[in-house]
Amino acid sequence: MARIRAAERRAELVAAAVRVIAAHGVDGATTRRIAEEASAPLATLHYCFATKEVLFAAVFEYLAGEYRDVLNRSDVHSDVQNTARGLLRGVLEWYLENPDFGATILELISWGQREGEQAEVVYASAFATMRTILEGTTTAAGRPVSSDMIDQLIYVVSALSDGFALNWLVFTDIAAARVQMELTVGVLDAWMAANLGGAAPSTQPVEITTEPDMRSLVSWVHVD
Amino acid sequence: MARIRAAERRAELVAAAVRVIAAHGVDGATTRRIAEEASAPLATLHYCFATKEVLFAAVFEYLAGEYRDVLNRSDVHSDVQNTARGLLRGVLEWYLENPDFGATILELISWGQREGEQAEVVYASAFATMRTILEGTTTAAGRPVSSDMIDQLIYVVSALSDGFALNWLVFTDIAAARVQMELTVGVLDAWMAANLGGAAPSTQPVEITTEPDMRSLVSWVHVD
Amino acid sequence: MARIRAAERRAELVAAAVRVIAAHGVDGATTRRIAEEASAPLATLHYCFATKEVLFAAVFEYLAGEYRDVLNRSDVHSDVQNTARGLLRGVLEWYLENPDFGATILELISWGQREGEQAEVVYASAFATMRTILEGTTTAAGRPVSSDMIDQLIYVVSALSDGFALNWLVFTDIAAARVQMELTVGVLDAWMAANLGGAAPSTQPVEITTEPDMRSLVSWVHVD
Amino acid sequence: MARIRAAERRAELVAAAVRVIAAHGVDGATTRRIAEEASAPLATLHYCFATKEVLFAAVFEYLAGEYRDVLNRSDVHSDVQNTARGLLRGVLEWYLENPDFGATILELISWGQREGEQAEVVYASAFATMRTILEGTTTAAGRPVSSDMIDQLIYVVSALSDGFALNWLVFTDIAAARVQMELTVGVLDAWMAANLGGAAPSTQPVEITTEPDMRSLVSWVHVD
DNA sequence: AATGAATGAGGCTTCATTCAT
DNA sequence: TATGAATGAAGCCTCATTCAT
């Protein structure tokens, strides 16, 4: 029972940390704020997690787990093109539905990089998850997909979803994001069509029916 | 004369801030560290920049300026495909040559979003720069490019370069990054070929001659 | 148990603040100095009082409490003239015995005025204390005292004691202050005799037996 | 010319200091704020006054001069009672018309006390001014006034005006202050009548025709 | 003579963490 | 086991003052 209580406390704290990081950034995520968000005394936080670093590592693992679940849920068990498209779309929609997660992940990237060690382990499994899913596929024409091509696919899906996430994080315009989602999937499709054989994408080309605020199509990263 | 000295000081401090943010993150970028990096007394920092916030805003503007310069330098004054490809490649190479800039930009994104106000002004001009460049182009076939298509192009270039930057930030493997660069440009080409008419990309398809550590093709963001 | 410790700490800090304010003025009363005076680490001060402002408010309340106690202790339960005289004398003697309190109160007056809000609450109760005491009295002749007269009495007692406190604060000559005390009480008596009916004051007219430094009878406020 | 310019600058800075001290207190009266209030560069302040201490001393002297002028202007050249009453009333009205002066004087009292040395000189001249005026008088009955009585008078006038000033500083209710002014003069008259011979005061007893907010008759110093 | 630039010292506050119960 | 109390280190910022022109 006490064990369960402790595990619950830990989970609450991790969830609170996600929210606080999303709202205040890594540097604004103080132990006090996190404890308060979790309605826990400050000392309890350090009772559950020896160190802030340890807590953040747990947040890290939690988000990684969610990410893996999303990937697995998005596996459509089809040919490589449909599968890759499904993975991409699944990730994008996940970002859309959980804005906190995207923000927190972005915040933790640089933190994780500086921390270094513990992240390495996690990278491999991330790679493994996508790879495992894609290795079970063939092209629409039934040909097997080369290992190299899978790596390239993983990179493209990854880069596109990261780019999308950044935009969605910065602008919060849901309408623009939905358009960008279709556009993003279209980019993947175009690349796969050119590199995985001629099958036309099964999704329609982007049709912007609503006229969203086009300005927000552009990430502010491209500042001048 | 004295003015110049002050302007220099400001520039030094901004440069120091870029380095410190890149190395220690936004939260690790304390005024003390920045001042030390710039070999300036702490009080001098506050003489030049009333507030840490103001300093960061200056860093912001500085990076934005660099970004705009990169874009303008990358304008190949050709048809829309070559121009867009040039912009993308220019940005990617800029990231490659200035790892600090990429890291700092990423770090500042969430900061800038939380700060909010001052970023808005910058977005519009970012849009304008790319747009100005692309509006002067036609397709290889000589047809004009619709305004909507330009917006989509801007988003795609933006998303791809963001995705690339994230990967390059996390892994620091220059060899892998060079491969990813070609791959990224290839993605843009494929999308343009499918959406801007049939002209084949003038760059060769990706040829991975070196065998980079493929694991690092995948951003750890895709953790599981 | 732990609670008691915390309360003690708070009391110690408030007492230290009184001493430091008296010695160094409001602006010289730095958190560091106060903490040092209380033999407490600086951080502890901020654990007990979120803000310097909050600490000063506590000092405020403490002094107010002492003042109220002095007033109540000085209630001679006699006719209005003796009672008012007792209040005035009690306050003056309190100032004489606790020079720190007078200095601190004076220092805090302007601070409290600038802070504004929290003082308002206190005023009403100050009024109430003197009023409660005086309302229970009649004139020596047994006539009731009008509400308006009580207000005037309160002002006169107040102004005289303030004037006395200022002089005592500036000169530190105890001998002169004792003479001034009698003189001050004499002023009140003269006014009451003229306005509350003919009973002669029960104290003798001022007899300056010692020849104090007369220069110090004059507040330096009257500088030229 | 340059000399005049410098003298003007000094006067401006002193006047600015009075305003700033009144508004922000001694501790809030920073060199920067004072310079800004005087529309002068910060360095100019230190060019005109070697030290903040020196500036404040000048403020001190300025206020003392004003005070002396007020006293001299209030000299009615009549018998001792009328003269003393005139002095008191003159001072009270001066406070009423120049709220900044009262606040600044109060702020500077404790500062001056801590600084110590330079104030001593000034005290004597303050004493001298009132004394000079009062020594030229006789009682209404034509009898000379003893030196001791003059000292007592000076103290009473001083204490009453100080008490009045404190109240006026704290409450800013002009209506209440006017009532208190009459009341204060009445107190002096009662005391003089009792101690300087039988002549009834030439002012009417206090008649409160308007019903001011009586609460503000009580200085909050008398807090409980 | 004037004043922008620069700075050491110190202001208040908050942090992550440990202690003591 | 849990948690109020306590704290050293460090955060950002502002002060009065001096320097250099």
pLDDT digits (tens, 9 = 90+) for D60-111: 889 889 989 999 999 999 999 999 999 999 999 999 999 999 889 888 887 8
Which numeric CATH code is attached to A60-217?
A: 1.10.357
Average per-residue pLDDT for chain A: 84
Side chain identity, residue D201: P
Name the most confidently modeled range: A132-141, B128-137, C184-193. C184-193
**Is pLDDT above 50 for D191?**
yes
Q: Which residue of B has its CA nearest to A62?
A: B224
d(C-alpha A74, C-alpha A203), whole Å:
16
Put simply, the answer to whether B155 touches A206 (Cβ < 8 Å) is: no
Q: Give the pLDDT band of residue C128 (cuts 50, 70, 90).
A: confident
d(C-alpha D217, C-alpha B80), whole Å:
82
Chain A residue numbers with beta carbons less than 8 Å from the beta carbon of B155 are 167, 180, 183, 217-219
Put simply, the answer to whether B219 touches A114 (Cβ < 8 Å) is: no
Q: Give the pLDDT band of residue A117 (cuts 50, 70, 90).
A: low
Q: Which residues pair with A138 in a beta bridge?
A: A144
Q: Which residue has the higher pLDDT, C31 or C106?
A: C31
pLDDT digits (tens, 9 = 90+) for A2-45: 555 778 889 999 999 999 999 898 889 999 999 999 999 999 99
pLDDT digits (tens, 9 = 90+) for C86-96: 999 999 999 99
Q: What is the 3-state secondary structure (H, E, C) of chain C?
A: CHHHHHHHHHHHHHHHHHHHHHHHHHHHCCHHHHHHHCCCCHHHHHHHCCCHHHHHHHHHHHHHHHHHHHHHHCCCCCCHHHHHHHHHHHHHHHHHHCHHHHHHHHHHHHHHHHHCHHHHHHHHHHHHHHHHHHHCCECCCCCECCHHHHHHHHHHHHHHHHHHHHHHHHCCCHHHHHHHHHHHHHHHHHHHHHHCCCCCCCCCCCCCCCCCCHHHHCCCCCCC
Which nucleotide lies nearest residue C29, CA to C1'?
E11
d(C-alpha C31, C-alpha C51), whole Å:
9
**Is pLDDT above 50 for C214?**
no
d(C-alpha D70, C-alpha D87), whole Å:
8
- Token code pair at residue C158: 């107040």
**Is pLDDT above 50 for D210?**
no
Chain C residue numbers with beta carbons less than 8 Å from the beta carbon of D186 are 191, 195
**Is pLDDT above 70 for C78?**
yes
**CB burial readout C139-154, b (16+ within 10 A) else e:** bbeeeebeeebbbbbb
Q: Write the CA distances from D165 to A212, B194, D96, integer angstroms.
A: 66, 85, 8
CA end-to-end span of chain B: 58
Q: What share of chain A is helix, strand, coil (3-state, %, to 5)?
A: 75, 0, 25
CA-only gyration radius of chain A, Å: 20
Kindly report the nearest CA distance between residue C151 and chain D, in angstroms.
7
d(C-alpha B205, C-alpha A194), whole Å:
10
- Compare CB distances from D119 to C60, C218, C220 and report the shortest one's residue: C220
Side chain identity, residue A84: A
Q: In which residue are the tokens 């002050």 written?
A: B6
d(C-alpha D151, C-alpha C91), whole Å:
23
**Is pLDDT above 50 for C112?**
yes
Cβ proximity of D133 and D87 under 8 Å: yes
Put simply, the answer to whether B195 touches A205 (Cβ < 8 Å) is: yes
Report CA(A46)–C1'(E18) in Å, whole number: 10
Name the most confidently modeled range: A56-70, C119-133, D121-135. A56-70
Domain boundaries defined on chain B: 1-50, 60-217
pLDDT digits (tens, 9 = 90+) for C23-73: 998 889 999 999 999 999 999 999 999 999 999 999 988 988 998 999 999
Which pLDDT belongs to residue C206? 42
Put simply, the answer to whether A162 touches B160 (Cβ < 8 Å) is: no
Q: Give the pLDDT band of residue D203 (cuts 50, 70, 90).
A: very low
Q: What are phi and psi of A115, to 5 degrees?
A: -70, -40
Pick the CATH number of D1-50 from 3.40.50, 3.30.300, 1.10.10, 3.30.420: 1.10.10
d(C-alpha D218, C-alpha D221), whole Å:
8
Which pLDDT belongs to residue A83? 96
**Is pLDDT above 80 for C142?**
yes
Task: Give the 3-state secondary structure of residue B138.
Answer: strand
Report CA(A40)–C1'(F1) in Å, whole number: 14
- Token code pair at residue C150: 């009580």
Q: Subunits that touch chain A (at least 3 Cβ pairs < 8 angstroms)?
A: B
Cβ proximity of C129 and D224 under 8 Å: yes
Q: What are phi and psi of C144, to 5 degrees?
A: -70, 155
Q: Give the pLDDT band of residue A223 (cuts 50, 70, 90).
A: very low
Note the strand F nucleotides within 7 A of protein beta carbons: 1-21
Which pLDDT belongs to residue C124? 63
Task: Give the 3-state secondary structure of residue B144.
Answer: strand
Q: What is the 3-state secondary structure (H, E, C) of A94-152?
A: HHHHCHHHHHHHHHHHHHHHHHCHHHHHHHHHHHHHHHHHHHCCECCCCCECCHHHHHH
- Whether any strand F atom is under 7 angstroms from the Cβ of A175: the reply reads no
Side chain identity, residue A127: F
Which residues in chain C, range 48-67, keep a C-beta under 7 Å from any nucleic strand F atom? 48
Task: Give the 3-state secondary structure of residue B140.
Answer: coil
Average per-residue pLDDT for chain C: 84
CA-only gyration radius of chain B, Å: 20
Which pLDDT belongs to residue B124? 64
Q: Which residue of B has its CA nearest to A193?
A: B190
Q: Which residue has the higher pLDDT, C5 or D196?
A: D196
Pick the CATH number of D55-217 from 1.10.357, 3.40.50, 1.10.1200, 3.30.420: 1.10.357
- Compare CB distances from C218 to D105, D155, D205 and report the shortest one's residue: D155
Cα angle B203, B205, B206; round to 5: 110
d(C-alpha C183, C-alpha D158), whole Å:
12
One digit per residue, the tens of pLDDT, for chain B of length 224 reads 455 677 888 999 999 999 999 999 888 999 999 999 999 999 999 999 999 999 999 998 898 899 899 999 999 999 999 999 999 999 999 999 999 998 898 888 878 877 765 555 666 677 789 999 999 999 988 899 999 999 999 999 999 999 999 888 888 889 999 999 999 999 999 999 999 975 444 444 444 444 334 333 333 333 33
Q: Among C211, B112, D168, which residue's Cα sits nearest to residue A103?
A: B112
Put simply, the answer to whether A26 touches B27 (Cβ < 8 Å) is: yes
Put simply, the answer to whether A67 touches B223 (Cβ < 8 Å) is: yes
Cβ proximity of A221 and B70 under 8 Å: no
Put simply, the answer to whether A215 touches B123 (Cβ < 8 Å) is: yes
**Is pLDDT above 70 for C121?**
no
Report CA(A49)–C1'(E19) in Å, whole number: 17
Contact exists between B and C (3 or more beta carbon pairs < 8 Å): no
Provide, rounded to the nearest whole percent, the portion of chain A with pLDDT above 70: 82
Q: Among D164, D33, D22, which residue's Cα sits nearest to residue D93?
A: D164
- Token code pair at residue B201: 């990309």
Which pLDDT belongs to residue D198? 57
- Token code pair at residue C2: 């732990």
Which pLDDT belongs to residue D117? 58
Report CA(A116)–C1'(E18) in Å, whole number: 27
Name the most confidently modeled range: C214-218, D61-65, D179-183. D179-183
Which residues in chain D, range 14-53, keep a C-beta under 7 Å from any nucleic strand F atom? 29-33, 42-43, 45-46, 50-53
- Compare CB distances from D162 to C103, C114, C162 and report the shortest one's residue: C162
DSSP string for residues in D52-116: HHHHHHHHHHHHHHHHHHHHHHT---S-HHHHHHHHHHHHHHHHHH-HHHHHHHHHHHHHHHHH-
Chain B residue numbers with beta carbons less than 8 Å from the beta carbon of A186 are 191, 195
Residue nearest to nucleotide F1 (CA to C1'): A2
Put simply, the answer to whether B186 touches A183 (Cβ < 8 Å) is: no
- Count CB pairs under 8 A between chains C and D: 247
Put simply, the answer to whether C112 touches D154 (Cβ < 8 Å) is: no
Biggest CA-to-CA distance, chain B: 61
Q: Which residue has the higher pLDDT, D120 or D61?
A: D61
Q: Using a cut of 0.85, tell me whether the model's pTM lies above it.
A: no
CA-only gyration radius of chain C, Å: 20
Q: Which residue has the higher pLDDT, D124 or D178?
A: D178
The 10 Å Cβ neighbour count of residue C121 is 10
Q: Give the pLDDT band of residue D123 (cuts 50, 70, 90).
A: low
- Token code pair at residue A214: 């086009």
Cβ proximity of C134 and C84 under 8 Å: yes
Which nucleotide lies nearest residue B30, CA to C1'?
F11
Provide, rounded to the nearest whole percent, the portion of chain D with pLDDT above 90: 59
Q: Which residue has the higher pLDDT, C216 or A53?
A: A53
